[in-house]
Amino acid sequence: MSTASVSVERPHAHTHELSFIRAYVFSEDHKVIGLQFFFSGLVFFLIGGLLALAIRWQLAWPWTQVPILSQAFSLTAGQMPPEFYTMLFTMHGTIMIFFVIIPMLNAAFGNYLLPLMIGARDMAFPKLNMMSYWVMFLAFPVILASFFVEGGAAAAGWTAYPPLASIKEAAPGSGPGQTLWLLALILVGTSSMMGSVNYITTVIKCRVKGMHMLRMPLTVWALFITAILQAFALPVLTAALFMQLLERTLGMNFFVPPGLLINGRTIAEAGGHPLLWQHLFWFYSHPAVYIMILPAMGMVSDIMSCFARKPIFGYKAMVYAIAGIAGLGFIVWAHHMFVSGMNPYLGVAFMTATMLIALPSGVKVFNWLATLVGGKIEFSVPMLHALAFVSLFIIGGLSGLYMAATPVDMHIHDTYFIVAHFHYVLFGGSTFAIFGAITYWFPKMFGRKMNETLGKIHFALTFIFFNGTFFVMHLLGIHGHPRRIADPTLYEFLHDVQSLNVFSTVCALALGATQILFVINMFYSLFFGERAEQNPWRANTLEWQAPTPPPHGNFPEPIEVHRWPYDYSKPGCPEDYAPQTQPLAAAEAATAH
Amino acid sequence: MKHLGSVLVYLSATLGTAAAFAGAETGPVWWLPPDYSTTGHHYDRLFNIVLYETAVAFAAVVIALVYFAIRYRHREGRRAEYDRGDQPKHIMITLALAMIVFVAIDMNIVHRSNVSIDEIRSGMPDPDDGLVVWVTGEQFNWVVTYPGPDGKFGTIDDVTLRNEMHVPVNTKVLVRLTSRDVIHAFNVPQLRVKMDAVPGMETRVWFEAKEPVELELACAELCGWGHYMMKGRLVIEPREDFERWLKEQEAFLLASSDKGAQSDE
């Protein structure tokens, strides 16, 4: 390759220096874009986490002065106003889902890993990729500004049910705050859509020679199927968001029925239906649950195989299971609406469809367990997180059965049982997988290793305090504790369980404090960590065959893939791993299937 | 002994879970609230079935996970088995296990749910007979309306109260729900009753209380800043007490509307 010109086939193999702005700010390099998503995700993780701690404080000790925050409440003598509480949980949910978990898994790790893992030099559309970050970036000031507008940020729940969300008299946060919320989500959705298109095209068109579809690591499979899922589900959410936006700003009407009297204002001109929003919203937001868990499952599979030094058990079954979960995810949305007034016979169909998801999920759990059998398990920090993922995901998955069983759901719907359930899936599942992924790919991303001891302490404390915080929420919910109420002590029947609220809050505060360890470990290791070699975990996938950190264009030498990514401890191989680029040896051919 | 820490973590989590369930068994405080309805046992029985099935599944997975993690831990001089798990026998085992879980747990729950739903729904009283109460949600009150002496809703003698509902014991009560503004949800955990009150449409729920008791009526769907204090009193009392109470309300209403009529003249 000449140094003077840029060839057509390898447009990113620049050898000349890019300016700082082109290299690190408006970069077209998938790795830089991935890191941009990564660091903004961490910042929002901090914001979302602090909101959660304020929620927990209010629930344990209602109306007492919240440390630090209380100074902002001069009108109420330092007490948290109830409308502030509704804003807290609305924004906590919104930020954690749309600004942390989805971007962290799909945009940060997706961008960083996907081209590397399939041996591509970059994404199929690098400019579109750059744009996907900068469209997302526009959403940051919008969502942050919404905290400071009149009435405060959105306060109608992350589900934004009309009429509460769409009539500005209905709640203080349903003024400009809700409009900004809708705009921010439209921007986030647009960004995700750009990412999806890019991932799908990249996987189909940009695989390196020898990388057949069935030689792709499960992380790539999961990201690929998730991208397809997003591409089908997101337009529905975006349309619904636009409909609510038009309803709020241009006087159109989709979700508000006629004749309402809200906070002194009669809404006569309307003619919509509130359930329409719920159907549209959940048609996206149930698949969104899988958008938040499937990539985590893929990463956990790769991490488990690497540290068990064994092939993943039932690779094809795992791929079909991911596809099965994604497909079924489209026909279960109404299980969020069993008490919404929807025709109850619809509920029966949705309950059965929901139960079907247990099949592919069961296959995955069984295969993860079977991957451990006969292995040589190293309890590294990423592996601990992967094992925790399996054990916590199973709790979140099984507690889903309570909701799928319609009569049981009647009792636990909109109680803390639901809160417990989705935190087991999204914190116990997705977030543990994110921690695992960070510790696993950190050496590749930054060229240094994270501190092992600190990592293990952080893991153990997070595991304990996570369960302390969220397990008791099952009991609160079983007792009937409604979600989203600012003061549980107002209800006599909840007096019995208030001690659980206090216990949960104490654990949550400890859980929050534990994360300081992670931040310290990350930033210390970023600058002073032990230097990592090219392939510190002795892993097979292609990203570990690239230099550390990978240069622009990823692979300085052309590579070719000769095998699947799970040849760990293969008989006939001298090492207990065989990178995908390593040609099959004669000794292996005899044992090959 | 690198694995020891993680093993301890898993053991403590398992023991903690067991302790939580054991604690729940001994004291009634941290479990399902007392049930005063004639239909609540459907919900509770199904809840217990789901609980036992999921507890078994959870225990099986966690025991296997912890056992495999210890049994197959890293030890020098041993090589992991190269097992791709893609042989027909593996696929058969995987599918067989999945089918067992699916049929034994899932289909069982689906079947029992359907039976319960049918039983509960078939008991729903007709709006023309039995006690019918209209409950309208508004920020942040429950507006409870009885038909009054003429037995018809929407007439001048309707009895309307805020945040107070009385019903007779051992009587089927049909609650017709709607909302004046945003979505609310009519929720009485001790009667296992929950249904959204949606503006622009009617939803229905019914219950029959089996003993006199005073309960709290909560709102289970976020309805604004005052959601937490949208609370009503639900008094379940002997039929004669209920009828006396209703007469008093009707008399009070009549007296006040007479006064109003006089002052108009």
Dump pLDDT digits (tens) for A294-311.
999 999 999 999 999 999
Domain locations along chain B: 4-122, 131-264
**How many domains, in total, are found in chain A?**
1
DSSP 8-state class, residue A427: I
Global pTM value = 0.92
Tens of pLDDT, residues A340-379: 888 777 888 888 888 899 899 999 999 999 999 999 999 9
A493 and B215 within 8 Å at the Cβ level: the answer is yes
Nearest chain B residue to A170 by CA distance is: B224
> Nearest 5°: phi and psi at B219?
-105, 130
What does R_g of chain A's alpha carbons equal in angstroms? 24
| Facing residue for A398 by CB, picked from B58, B185, B222 | B58
Nearest chain A residue to B225 by CA distance is: A83
Residue-level pLDDT at A586? 79
Min mean pLDDT across A344-348, B16-20, B147-151 is at: B16-20
Residue B23 CA, distance from chain mean position: 22
> Distance between CA atoms of B141 and B218, rounded to whole angstroms?
10
> Distance between CA atoms of A493 and A309, rounded to whole angstroms?
52
Q: For residue A3, tell me if it sits in a domain.
A: no
A316 and B190 within 8 Å at the Cβ level: the answer is no
Please write down the long-range contacts of B110-114, taking CB distance under 8 Å and 24 or more positions apart. Answer: B110/A351, B110/A352, B110/A355, B110/A405, B112/A405, B112/B46, B112/B49, B113/A351, B113/A405, B113/A406, B113/A407, B113/A408, B113/B46, B114/A348
| Facing residue for A86 by CB, picked from B12, B68, B225 | B225
Q: At what angle do helices A218-249 and A294-308 cross, to 10 degrees?
A: 160
Q: Which two tokens stand for residue A85?
A: 């509480």
Under 8 Å between Cβ of A113 and A303: no
Provide CB contacts within 8 A for A85, sequence distance 6+: A55, A58, A486, B228
- What one-character-per-residue DSSP string does A185-254 give? HHHHHHHHHHHHHHHHHHHHH-PPTT--GGGS-HHHHHHHHHHHHHHHHHHHHHHHHHHHHHHHHS---S
Q: For residue A13, tell me if it sits in a domain.
A: no
Task: Indicate the pLDDT class of residue A11, thresholds 50, 70 and 90.
Answer: very low
Q: What is B131-264's CATH number, 1.10.1660.10, 3.30.300.30, 3.30.830.10, 2.60.40.420?
A: 2.60.40.420
> Distance between CA atoms of A214 and A208, rounded to whole angstroms?
13
Nearest chain A residue to B227 by CA distance is: A485
- pLDDT above 70: residue B3: no
- pLDDT above 70: residue A40: yes
Q: For residue A7, tell me if it sits in a domain.
A: no
Q: For residue A73, tell me if it sits in a domain.
A: no
Which among A524, A548, A378 has a CA at the least distance from the CA of A451?
A: A524
Nearest chain A residue to B76 by CA distance is: A376
Question: For residue A37, what is the domain's CATH number?
Answer: 1.20.210.10
Of the two residues A454 and A335, the one the predictor is more confident about is: A454
> Distance between CA atoms of A152 and A72, rounded to whole angstroms?
13
Tens of pLDDT, residues A466-486: 999 999 999 999 999 999 999
Query: Beta-carbon neighbour count of residue B103 at 10 Å?
Result: 10
> Distance between CA atoms of A590 and A572, rounded to whole angstroms?
9
A317 and B94 within 8 Å at the Cβ level: the answer is yes
> Distance between CA atoms of B72 and B85, rounded to whole angstroms?
17
Q: For residue A5, tell me if it sits in a domain.
A: no
DSSP 8-state class, residue A443: H
Q: For residue A451, tell me if it sits in a domain.
A: yes
Average pLDDT of the residues in B204-212: 95
Note down the domain range covering A34: 28-64+82-258+268-582
Q: Which two tokens stand for residue A223?
A: 């990201």
Alpha-carbon torsion angle A176, A179, A185, A188, nearest 10? -80
Cβ-based contacts under 8 A for chains A and B: 336
Tens of pLDDT, residues A100-128: 999 999 999 999 999 999 999 999 999 99
Q: For residue A71, tell me if it sits in a domain.
A: no
Residue-level pLDDT at A13? 47
What does R_g of chain B's alpha carbons equal in angstroms? 27
B50 and A395 within 8 Å at the Cβ level: the answer is no
> Distance between CA atoms of A339 and A414, rounded to whole angstroms?
10
- What one-character-per-residue DSSP string does A318-361 give? HHHHHHHHHHHGGG-GGGG-TTTT--HHHHHHHHHHHHHTHHHH
Amino acid at B159: V
Q: B-chain residues within 8 Å CB-CB of A167?
A: 181-182
Alpha carbon distances (Å) from A171 to A146, A272, A453, B139: 14, 20, 48, 10
Nearest CA distance, B133 vs chain A (angstrom): 17
Q: Which two tokens stand for residue A118?
A: 């399939």
Q: For residue A20, tell me if it sits in a domain.
A: no
